[in-house]
């Protein structure tokens, strides 16, 4: 007979109830698009341009998903997605932005209980090389500003005013398109710019910019008088855009890009010159002239001085070239 004297009966612990597992559900971008864009606009306070970029990036992610289910993706799947971005020959900065869009999207999904873990938080951003901004020389800028002319360009008065404002203020293209008549103060020779995060700054204007804008305002008044039906109904004249098309409609950022590219080609400027190059040139020329970097930071609307410091690298390249040319032992 077996001896069970040492046997201690097992105590039956109360069975722990596991939370119900969420079944894999295929959710389309169409269902999530508008709520997500409202979230990044209203709760994150991102600008309209950033909202549009996030919308495009997440739509691109859903195109890549194909038959995959969004809630079932693993870390390996996300790495495959980043690999597909690199395979598409996107710039490192663009890949980094796609990843930021995806992180914000999945953080939002986690807040809504659609996913349990935000695996995108484990992904490292691609390392970005700090590129020296492309800039124009002072002589190239002088040629660019007078490139629009009545013999070749129908909108030469407007285009010359836009180029002058670009270089006088260092504004971004989106800031130029959002300028209104009430932002422009020719008598005091400054304009009010609204940058990223709706941050306002006052930027002085030179005589060349004021004169070019005065000539444009006369043409602009004729354009808006001819516009039928009247555009921007309910808005005061001062609240209308400073720069408009031939039909009186607001200019798009893409139109400014094409405008700068057109005149840059005409004066023989490098192919990579863009509207942002005029912003870079504005900052670089000020620093080269001895302006304090904190003043340049304020004029550009940079939140961090580190962003402005990259322009000192451009000026360093110029100083090194001078050193190599003139120093006896360079």
Strand runs labelled E in 174-239: 184-185, 190-194, 200-204
Average pLDDT, the chain: 83
Taking only the tens place, the pLDDT of each residue in 163-176 is: 999 999 999 998 99
| Residue of 98, 158, 220, 302 marked catalytic | 302
Tokens 């006052």 sit on residue? 202
**What pLDDT, on a 0 to 100 scale, did the predictor assign at position 2?**
44
pTM for the structure as a whole:
0.69
User: Stretch 217-235: mean pLDDT, rounded?
Assistant: 74
User: Pick the residue with more confidence: 256 or 47?
Assistant: 256
| Residue of 196, 240, 253, 266 marked catalytic | 196
pLDDT band at 229 (very low <50, low <70, confident <90, very high): low
Distance of alpha carbon 240 from alpha carbon 179, whole angstroms: 9
Domain 29-122 belongs in CATH node 1.10.150.390: no
Does residue 95 surpass a pLDDT of 50?
yes
pLDDT band at 14 (very low <50, low <70, confident <90, very high): low
CB 191 within 8 A of CB 205: yes
Residue 49: which residues within 8 A CB-CB, separation 6 or more?
A: 174, 253
Residue 302 a catalytic site member: yes
Residue 262 a catalytic site member: no
Q: Give yes or no for a cis peptide into 229 (omega within 30° of 0).
A: yes
User: Stretch 266-271: mean pLDDT, rounded?
Assistant: 90
- Residues of the chain with pLDDT > 70, as a percent, come to 82
| Residue of 192, 201, 240, 276 marked catalytic | 276
pLDDT band at 198 (very low <50, low <70, confident <90, very high): confident
**What pLDDT, on a 0 to 100 scale, did the predictor assign at position 133?**
65
Does residue 20 surpass a pLDDT of 50?
no
Select from 1.10.443.10, 3.40.50.10490, 1.10.3720.10, 3.10.580.10 the CATH code of 138-271.
1.10.443.10
Residue 187 a catalytic site member: no
pLDDT band at 302 (very low <50, low <70, confident <90, very high): confident
**What pLDDT, on a 0 to 100 scale, did the predictor assign at position 230?**
56
**What pLDDT, on a 0 to 100 scale, did the predictor assign at position 23?**
44
pLDDT band at 304 (very low <50, low <70, confident <90, very high): confident
Residue 60 a catalytic site member: no
Taking only the tens place, the pLDDT of each residue in 137-157 is: 999 999 999 999 999 999 999
| Residue of 160, 279, 280, 285 marked catalytic | 279
Which of the residue ranges 12-16, 105-109, 186-190 would you say has the lowest mean pLDDT?
12-16
Which of the residue ranges 65-69, 174-178, 231-235 would you say has the lowest mean pLDDT?
231-235
**What pLDDT, on a 0 to 100 scale, did the predictor assign at position 44?**
84
Residue 196 a catalytic site member: yes
| Residue of 97, 98, 158, 172 marked catalytic | 172
Query: Beta partners for 203?
Result: 191
Does residue 269 surpass a pLDDT of 60?
yes
Work out the burial of residue 328: count CB atoms within 10 Å of its CB; fewer than 13 is exposed, 13-18 middle, 19 or more buried.
Answer: exposed
User: Stretch 282-298: mean pLDDT, rounded?
Assistant: 88
Residue 276 a catalytic site member: yes
**What pLDDT, on a 0 to 100 scale, did the predictor assign at position 54?**
94
Per-domain residue ranges for the chain? 29-122, 138-271
């Amino acid at each position: 007979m077996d001896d069970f004297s040492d046997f201690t009966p097992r105590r039956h612990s109360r069975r722990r109830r596991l939370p119900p597992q969420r079944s894999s559900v295929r959710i389309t971008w169409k269902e999530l698009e508008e709520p997500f864009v409202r979230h990044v606009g209203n709760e994150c306070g991102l600008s309209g341009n950033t909202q549009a970029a996030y919308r495009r990036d997440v739509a691109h992610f859903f195109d890549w998903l194909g038959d995959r289910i969004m809630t079932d993706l693993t870390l390996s799947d996300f790495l495959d997605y980043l690999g597909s971005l690199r395979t598409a020959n996107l710039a490192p900065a663009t890949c980094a932005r796609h990843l930021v869009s995806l992180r914000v999207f999945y953080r939002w999904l986690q807040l809504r209980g659609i996913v349990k873990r935000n695996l995108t938080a484990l992904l490292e951003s691609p390392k970005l090389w700090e590129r020296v901004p492309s800039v124009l020389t002072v002589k190239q800028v002088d040629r660019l500003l007078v490139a629009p002319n009545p013999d070749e360009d129908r909108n030469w008065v407007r285009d010359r005013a836009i180029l002058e404002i670009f270089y006088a203020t260092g504004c971004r293209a989106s800031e130029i398109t959002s300028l209104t008549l009430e932002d422009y103060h020719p008598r005091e020779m400054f304009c009010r710019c609204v940058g990223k995060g709706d941050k306002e700054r006052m930027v002085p204007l030179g005589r060349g910019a004021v004169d070019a804008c005065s000539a444009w305002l006369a043409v602009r008044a004729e354009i808006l008088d001819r516009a039928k039906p009247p555009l921007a109904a309910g808005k005061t004249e001062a609240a209308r855009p400073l720069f408009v098309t031939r039909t009186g409609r607001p200019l798009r950022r893409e139109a400014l890009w094409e405008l700068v590219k057109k005149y840059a080609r005409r004066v023989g400027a490098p192919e990579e010159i863009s509207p942002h190059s005029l912003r870079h040139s504005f900052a670089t020329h000020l620093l080269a002239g001895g302006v304090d970097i904190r003043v340049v930071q304020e004029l550009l609307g940079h939140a961090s001085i580190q962003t402005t410091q990259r322009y000192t690298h451009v000026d360093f390249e110029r100083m090194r070239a001078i050193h190599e040319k003139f120093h006896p032992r360079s």
